[in-house]
Amino acid sequence: MPIYLYWGEDDFAMNQAISLLKQDNLDSNWISFNFDKLAGDKEDSIVSALMQGMTPPFGNGDRLVWLFETNICQNCSEELLTQLQGTIPQIPETTHLLLTSTKKPDGRIKSTKLINKYAKVIEFSLISPWQTEILIKKVEETAAQKQIKLTQNAIKILANCVGNDSRLLSQELDKLSIYQGENKLPIEEETVKKLVNVSTQNSLQLAQVILNRNIPYALELVNDLITLNESPLRIVATLVGQFRTWAIVKSMIESGEKDEKKIAESADISNPKRIYFLRQEIKNISGKQLLSSLPILLELEASLKLGAEPLNTLETKVIELCNV
């Protein structure tokens, strides 16, 4: 009864794990008979997946039933819960039931507790860009898996370049692997700078530049991000998240709150130690100014979703944000 729950926003890392699961358990000659992928947000599809899970595989290999973007661990009716309770313990060893979701499971509800009891749960959350030590460790681990040797400075440069983008990290390491070839010496920092796009432009950096009201640099970053094929809506999502965090933290500080744990909890920040750094970032701007930025960002998001030209729209709103 192999059951897996994969959750988190790192879709590249998750898809790699799913591919490995398919590779390890499915016979390529029988994959069309033994692999089912169903929408996980519809009750009838979930019931169908459970029924498929009870069906023995055809030919060679095992059966894999995948419920993608399932909401079982966020919302589950009593009828469906009863179905899960009756079926999950009976799923045969030859079936692998995979549940995936970008959302964190709600540990308070019965369906999540049931799945946690039987499933192998793996988190694929994105590393926060400010967690530089963890990002460096991620580069080290991935490079080791690909058997690529890098100096410590090269690792730091690469971590700074790719941030928390697992797909980009894998692509850049593959590029470095081709360059390294049979050479057993570790790849140096200068080589990484030559072969990897070492521009550190990212949406968080753009947020900081906007906060500092540096319009020329902000416009340069916007142009670089679009040139690097960064999704405009992804840029906006990062800006919204960052300005929301800044606004909450600043508002609580201005209200007299000094307990960093309480501030972190209100701002949905897992590590209270980060509050110290956020204080430094927003010390020269008021809570009112930060709150005034949020409607502008929402207007920007709405415009992009309605089909506005990304570069011009971003540039216009970035200038507006810098002038708040």
pTM beyond cutoff 0.95? no
CA distance 301 to 307: 10
Instruction: Provide the pLDDT for residue 200.
Output: 46
Instruction: Provide the pLDDT for residue 197.
Output: 66
Instruction: Provide the pLDDT for residue 192.
Output: 87
Instruction: Provide the pLDDT for residue 1.
Output: 62
- How is the beta sheet containing 95-101 ordered, strand by strand? 35-39, 63-68, 95-101, 3-7, 119-123
Task: Write 109-115 long-range contacts (CB < 8 A, 24+).
Answer: 109/73, 109/74, 109/75, 109/76, 110/76, 110/81, 111/72, 111/73, 111/76, 111/80, 111/81, 111/84, 112/72, 112/73, 114/81, 114/84, 114/85, 114/88, 115/3, 115/5, 115/72, 115/73, 115/84, 115/88
CA distance 309 to 245: 28
CA distance 279 to 303: 32
Which residue do the tokens 């011009």 mark?
Answer: 312
CA distance 7 to 224: 31
Per-residue pLDDT of the chain (324 residues; tens, 9 = 90+): 699 999 988 888 899 999 999 999 999 999 999 999 999 888 899 999 999 989 999 999 999 999 999 999 999 899 999 999 999 999 999 999 999 998 889 989 999 999 999 999 999 888 776 677 888 999 999 999 888 999 999 998 888 778 788 888 898 999 898 988 878 889 998 888 888 865 545 677 888 889 989 999 899 889 888 887 788 888 898 899 889 999 999 999 999 988 888 898 888 887 787 788 888 889 888 999 999 999 999 999 999 999 999 999 999 999 999 998
Which residue do the tokens 């990897």 mark?
Answer: 196
